[in-house]
């Protein structure tokens, strides 16, 4: 269920990036997205985080390092066609992240 929610959120973010933020359609989509993200976060806080707290300090530190590394390798934009599996993300994610970061850099240069 969490994976399906995350895939839906990724699709919605991808769509929001292509929308004009001054439109009612964007506002309605964003409100629905926010509601879904808050519900997802609440569910993870009540089901997943309590499990993490049962781990030892070394395991939590290892998880934190792995999370920070994954964050550095993750795409900076949502991609609706990207894989949803862990293996797919590990295989495709770094390449998509590289493209995102180049795109972000070009955008930043154009804006400045």
Q: What is the pLDDT of residues 89-105, one digit of tens each?
A: 677 777 777 777 888 88
Q: 18 lies in which domain range?
A: 1-54
Indicate whether 67 and 105 sit together in one domain.
Answer: yes
Query: pLDDT band at residue 67, thresholds of 50, 70 and 90?
Result: confident
Q: Under a CB-based contact definition with an 8 Å cutoff, are residues 75 and 96 in contact?
A: yes
More confident residue, 69 or 29: 29
Indicate whether 2 and 49 sit together in one domain.
Answer: yes
Position 7 scores a pLDDT of 76
Indicate whether 46 and 65 sit together in one domain.
Answer: no
Average pLDDT for the chain: 85
Q: How far is CA 9 from CA 2, 5, 77, 79, 97, in A?
A: 10, 6, 12, 10, 18
Average pLDDT over residues 31-47: 91
Indicate whether 14 and 39 sit together in one domain.
Answer: yes
Indicate whether 33 and 77 sit together in one domain.
Answer: no
């Amino acid at each position: 269920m969490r994976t399906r929610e995350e895939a839906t959120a990724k699709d919605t973010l991808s769509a929001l990036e292509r929308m004009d933020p001054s439109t009612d359609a964007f506002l309605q989509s964003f409100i629905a997205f926010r509601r879904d993200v808050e519900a997802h976060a609440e569910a993870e806080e009540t089901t997943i985080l309590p499990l993490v707290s049962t781990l030892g300090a070394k395991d939590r530190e290892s998880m934190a390092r792995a999370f920070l590394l994954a964050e550095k390798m993750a795409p900076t934009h949502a991609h609706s066609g990207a894989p949803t599996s862990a293996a797919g993300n590990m295989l495709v994610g770094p390449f998509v992240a590289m493209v995102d970061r180049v795109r972000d850099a070009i955008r930043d240069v154009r804006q400045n």
